[in-house]
């Protein structure tokens, strides 16, 4: 459909939907990452070389969570950015660093798990903490190089009401779409295939081998479930809808209107909320490897449940009087 008039896109949806998500992510993310990092440092020797990647995973989460309050203010003010162009770019840079750093370190964890289970004799004693540190530095460098071009795209627009774009202003959408597609391939799709291949092979080996330790099987299955959850809820929808939304914006710039433009925009904003949840879900990677944390969490969750039930009972009695 080629029209000069395009249907209205609900741009105000993000200001209604994202603030509650940011509040939830900020509170749960800080508590979960604080708990996870404390447990990680307490059990440093027990967890092995893989803890270097888990530590870096936690650091990427904390770095992003520190910028979330500024995004809350932005959306509470009706998508009005008051912190300047440079800090807008810094905020978006931290988001991307968290997102693609998380994917990178989760991929490293998957490869290490694969080597330890499928090729234990080949890697025994050959992989040291130094190797993990070097690989972590490499991941930080690669992720930074991938997202650095994003900093050169215009992020703010407007005089009275300044916007802080997640991607860029409409003038540069065509170039940004090309960059985003390449970025999605290298920063998400290839690591996703590596992770999928590693755990696919691990599951086959675990199913075929009857002598494998049952605890090891359970931990691998828990980690696999965590990764499936992260990719299904956070990563896959975000990358698909981000590029669809950029394509929709490009078509709108050319007055090529599509009925699905509004739906894609809303779905993309929802996926933005879900992808932020990775900062709160990543600590599950710490939890799966340390059963003692689950032992500590169970009584806390039970007490929280009892407190909620008591509060509900009290409110019910008050309302019935």
Whole-prediction pTM: 0.85
Q: 88 and 166: one domain?
A: yes
Q: 304 and 235: one domain?
A: no
Domain count for the chain, please give it. Answer: 2
What number of other Cβ atoms are within 10 A of residue 301's Cβ?
Answer: 11
Q: 53-112 pLDDT, tens per residue? A: 988 999 999 999 999 999 999 988 888 899 989 999 999 999 999 999 999 999 998 898
Q: 147 and 253: one domain?
A: yes
Q: 156 and 117: one domain?
A: yes
* 2 within a domain of the structure (yes/no): no
Q: 226-262 pLDDT, tens per residue? A: 788 889 889 999 999 999 999 999 988 887 777 788 8
The domain that holds 218 is classified in CATH as 1.20.1070.10
């Amino acid at each position: 459909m080629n029209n000069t008039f395009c249907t209205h896109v609900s741009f105000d949806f993000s200001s209604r939907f994202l603030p509650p998500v940011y509040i939830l992510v900020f509170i749960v993310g800080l508590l979960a990452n604080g708990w996870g990092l404390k447990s990680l440092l307490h059990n440093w020797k027990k967890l092995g070389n893989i803890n270097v990647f888990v530590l870096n995973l936690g650091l990427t989460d904390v770095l992003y969570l520190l910028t979330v309050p500024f995004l809350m203010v932005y959306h509470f003010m009706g998508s009005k950015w008051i912190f300047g162009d440079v800090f807008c770019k810094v905020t978006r840079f931290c988001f991307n660093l968290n997102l693609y750093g998380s994917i990178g370190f989760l991929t490293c964890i998957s490869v290490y798990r694969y080597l330890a289970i499928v090729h234990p004799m080949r890697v025994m004693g050959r992989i040291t903490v130094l190797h993990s540190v070097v690989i972590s530095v490499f991941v930080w460098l690669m992720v930074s190089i991938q997202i650095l071009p994003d900093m050169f795209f215009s992020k703010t627009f407007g005089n009275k009401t300044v916007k802080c774009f997640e991607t860029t202003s409409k003038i540069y959408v065509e170039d940004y779409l090309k960059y985003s597609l390449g970025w999605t391939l290298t920063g998400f799709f290839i690591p996703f295939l590596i992770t999928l291949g590693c755990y696919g092979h691990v599951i086959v080996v675990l199913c075929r081998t009857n002598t494998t330790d049952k605890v090891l099987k359970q931990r691998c299955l828990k980690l696999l479930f965590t990764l499936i959850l992260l990719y299904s809820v956070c990563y896959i929808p975000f990358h698909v809808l981000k590029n669809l939304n950029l394509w929709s914006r490009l078509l709108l710039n050319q007055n090529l209107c599509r009925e699905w433009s509004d739906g894609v925009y809303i779905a993309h904003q929802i996926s933005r909320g879900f992808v932020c949840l990775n900062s709160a879900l990543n600590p599950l990677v710490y939890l799966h490897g340390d059963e003692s944390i689950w032992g500590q969490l169970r009584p806390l969750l039970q007490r929280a449940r009892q407190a909620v039930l008591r509060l509900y009972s009290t409110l019910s009695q008050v309302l019935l009087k």
